[in-house]
Chain A
């Protein structure tokens, strides 16, 4: 190859007149600086990833707590759940019940056309009326659910949600194993496997399951698994204006739920069925079932 050829090439790669000649030294300096910058940037990103703790199922055993003395029946939780999880109309992953307890001996006589009556309490002197208009999606009407509001002894709200039972009857009866207890303590449904037979809906003593009216599979509360596994709160806990709902990791002694359960008296729903529910109710009245 002749020298003329080299000159031609050099001219071809030379910067335009007036520009700075980078040169070999400059090129190496620039390259080193660029590599260092990229390394620092990569290190920062890796640090950021490392700072976000990886979710380990085995380190968790999720549970829910509801303080019934705080609930005001506003229905924010129901609306938040519906929006977050795209819950179909007429179906509920969570809902709120209103218990109205009246004290009036006349109420022993059941009047014709009486719409609500659930149970008698306190030695037969109290009557318990439960209502739950549209799952409390729109809260509750201000009118009392009984004819004579003066007879009301007490009234309170009870939010309901899947109990994520440790020995759940829905998991037991599912014929295809679509319902399962995850290693971190949540009862979940594999939508790709479920046949939609509805046996789990019948088996759940808490009425928390439904068959999706469009897709045909069984559906229920997942305790917002897609959120809590990323360190976020569940939609209903986030939305509750009075802090009546709490959730947390029972395996973590510093978790809020452990502290709450350690300092409160709580009850479970229908413990006699041996389902080992993991939804703990603080201040639960005897009449709640």
Chain B
């Protein structure tokens, strides 16, 4: 697309090189998926570590979901890179001063933590499968059990202790993983929309919101596939956590915008044009209105109306989080020129 054509479509001035937004959907997807990882992991830890037994039906599922999302998370990034075949340069020749360079190591460390926890959590089931199957399947399950099919009181205790330990280690890990993604954005001083210490906390909270919401959604989905009833107490607890974290998340987002707006700095001149015109639909109408206020009220009445409505509501939360990151990405790029 020709640069000047796009400039004419925008209000305000954008540097010619920044008319094309480089960080687009793929960059939005990556923190979104790591958010799901962190959120789902925290749900798993609520059961394993903090003894919220009403979450038992989703605890191990949450852990596996977290692991699967984590494995998938780098794919959008690879798709985004200009030269993806050099992706491992980030770990082979990292630049110590770069916020992004540390991310490969943090991601890997977290992957190991979640991987170990998933393995110990599922070990007894794997052993049972290895014993009940034959042929190639048995070989695969035996390999997954590392060819040790011992299950007794002692191994049960050890498994439980290891899972609890990694759940404890994993919580700060999850916070660090996703908070660090927020730091990647918050550390960019060229973009007034991003450059705030609040970014770290907002990313973390929105991660928990989107993680819990997608977990509820998947729980409904899987339950329908397995033709089993959902556990109302479990969904109610999840919905309560979701409501609380969502209030914190949206409040912080609004506080951030309000403080910039109230200060009336030069940055606000550019940001206000973006919010009121270019991002009016995505930010004001969809993100703040449809995906924040509506679920807020619906979720408030969910416990009294049963959990069936939860799946629809939660999918909206999930979109709110994604929508926020999309606005964040575009607005940051465009506002850098005008400020």
Instruction: Mark A residues whose CB is within 8 Å of B.
Output: 90-92, 95, 97, 114-120, 130-135, 160, 169, 171-177, 193-199, 201-212, 215-218, 273, 289
8 A-B pairs with least C-beta separation: A196-B82, A207-B15, A216-B82, A205-B190, A175-B100, A130-B13, A177-B95, A198-B22
Query: Shortest CB–CB separation between residue B231 and chain A, in angstroms?
Result: 43
User: Out of A117, A131, A171, A195, which one reaches B83, CB within 8 Å?
Assistant: A195
| A199 contacts across to B, CB distance below 8 A | 98, 100, 184
From DSSP, what is the main secondary structure of chain A's interface residues?
A: loop
Contact assessment for A194 and B83 in the assembled complex, using a CB-CB cutoff below 8 Å = yes
Contact of B269 among A119, A132, A172, A217 (CB under 8 A): A119
* Segment from B4-12, B133-141, B304-312 that makes contact with A: B4-12
Which residues, 71 to 97 on B, are CB-close (under 8 Å) to A?
80-84, 86-87, 89-90, 93-95, 97
User: B residues within 8 A CB of A91?
Assistant: 17
- Beta-carbon contact of B22 and A205 below 8 Å: no
B333 beta carbon closer than 8 Å to chain A: yes
Contact code string B168-210 (vs A, CB < 8 Å = 1, else 0): 0000000000000000100111110000000000000000000
B83 pairs with A289, CB closer than 8 A: no
* Residue in chain B with minimal CB distance to A119: B269
Contact (Cβ within 8 A) A194 B12:
no
Judged by a CB distance under 8 angstroms, whether B336 is at the interface is yes
Residues of B within 8 A of A205 (CB): 189-190, 336
CB distance from B12 to the nearest CB of A (A): 6
B230-274 residues at the A interface, CB under 8 angstroms = 266, 269-270, 273
B52 beta carbon closer than 8 Å to chain A: no
Contact indicator B16/A195 (Cβ below 8 Å): no
Query: How many Å lie between the Cα of A89 and that of B64 in the bound state?
Result: 47
Q: For the complex, what is the distance from the CA of A160 to the CA of B337, rounded to whole Å?
A: 12
Report which B residues bind A (CB closer than 8 A).
Answer: 1-4, 7-8, 11-13, 15-18, 20, 22-23, 80-84, 86-87, 89-90, 93-95, 97-101, 103, 184, 187-191, 266, 269-270, 273, 332-333, 336-339
Contact indicator B8/A197 (Cβ below 8 Å) = no
Query: Which residue of B17, B80, B94, B97 contacts A92 across the interface (Cβ within 8 Å)?
Result: B17
* Contact with A176, one of B12, B18, B93 (Cβ below 8 angstroms): B93
Point out the residues of chain B lying under 8 angstroms from A173, CB to CB: 97-100, 187-188
Question: What's the minimum C-beta distance from B191 to chain A, rounded to whole angstroms?
Answer: 7
Q: Is the pair A193, B93 in contact by a Cβ cutoff of 8 Å? A: yes
Minimum CB–CB distance for B73 against chain A, Å? 15
- A130→B7 CA distance, assembly (Å): 11
Q: Is the CB of B16 within 8 A of A134?
A: yes
| Interface pair A176/B190, CB less than 8 Å apart | no
Q: Report yes or no: A216 in contact with B90, Cβ–Cβ below 8 A.
A: no
**Listed A/B pairs (16) with beta-carbon separation below 8 Å:** A91-B17, A97-B13, A117-B11, A117-B12, A117-B273, A118-B12, A132-B7, A135-B3, A173-B98, A175-B100, A193-B89, A193-B93, A196-B81, A203-B189, A208-B15, A210-B17
B86 touches A193 (CB 8 A): yes
Q: Which of B13, B184, B188 interacts with A132 by CB under 8 Å?
A: B13
Cβ–Cβ contact B190 & A202, under 8 A? yes
Residue from the list A90, A169, A211, A212 in contact with B3, Cβ < 8 A: A90
Q: A197-B100, A289-B337 are in contact. List 8 more A-B contacts (CB 8 A).
A: A116-B12, A134-B16, A175-B89, A175-B98, A207-B17, A211-B82, A215-B83, A289-B339
Task: With both chains docked as a complex, state the minimum distance between the C-beta of B167 and any C-beta of chain A, in angstroms.
Answer: 30
Residue in A92, A175, A215 whose CB lies within 8 Å of B16 = A92
The residue on A at minimum CB distance from B82 is A196
Asked if B22 contacts A176 (CB within 8 A), the reply is no
A95 contact set on B, CB distance < 8 A: 15-16
Measured CB to CB, the closest approach of chain B to A274, in angstroms, equals 8
Q: Please, which residues of chain B bring their CB within 8 A of the CB of A115?
A: 8, 11
CA distance A203 to B270 in the complex (A): 18
CA distance A182 to B102 in the complex (A): 24
Closest to A91 in B: B17
**Residues of A with C-beta under 8 A to B12:** 116-118
**Contact call A169/B1, Cβ cutoff below 8 A:** no
**Closest residue on chain A to residue B93 by CB atoms:** A176
A251 to chain B minimum Cβ distance, whole angstroms, is 25
Q: How far is the CB of B211 from chain A (nearest CB, A)?
A: 25
Q: Are the C-beta atoms of B11 and A116 separated by less than 8 Å? A: yes
Complexed CA–CA distance, A169 and B97 (Å)? 10
Bound together, the chains give a CA A251 to CA B137 distance in angstroms of 73
Tell me the bound Cα distance from A97 to B97 in angstroms: 33
List the B side residues contacting A273 at CB < 8 Å: 189-190
Complex contacts, B80 vs chain A, CB 8 Å: 197-198
Q: Are A195 and B338 interface neighbours, CB within 8 A?
A: no
- Which residues of A sit under 8 angstroms from B338, Cβ to Cβ? 118-119, 289
- From the candidates B13, B184, B191, name the one contacting A118 in the complex (CB within 8 A): B13
Residues of chain B within 8 A of A92, CB atoms compared: 16-17
A76 to B80, alpha carbons, bound, how many Å? 34
Contact present for A197 and B101 (CB under 8 Å): no
Cβ–Cβ < 8 Å partners of B83 in chain A: 194-196, 215-217
Q: Which of A120, A176, A194, A215 has the most CB of B within 10 A?
A: A176
Q: Inside 8 A of B269's CB, which chain A residues have their CB? A: 118-120
Across the interface, A174 reaches (CB within 8 A) one of B16, B98, B336, namely B98
Q: When A90-B2, A119-B269, A212-B82 are in contact, do A198 and B13 touch as well, CB less than 8 Å? A: no
Q: B273 — nearest CB in chain A belongs to which residue?
A: A117
Interface hub of B2, B86, B338 (most chain A Cβ within 10 A): B86
Decide: A135 near B16, CB < 8 A? Known: A193-B93, A195-B87. Answer: yes
Query: A117-B11, A203-B190 given as contacts; is B23 within 8 A of A198 (CB)?
Result: yes
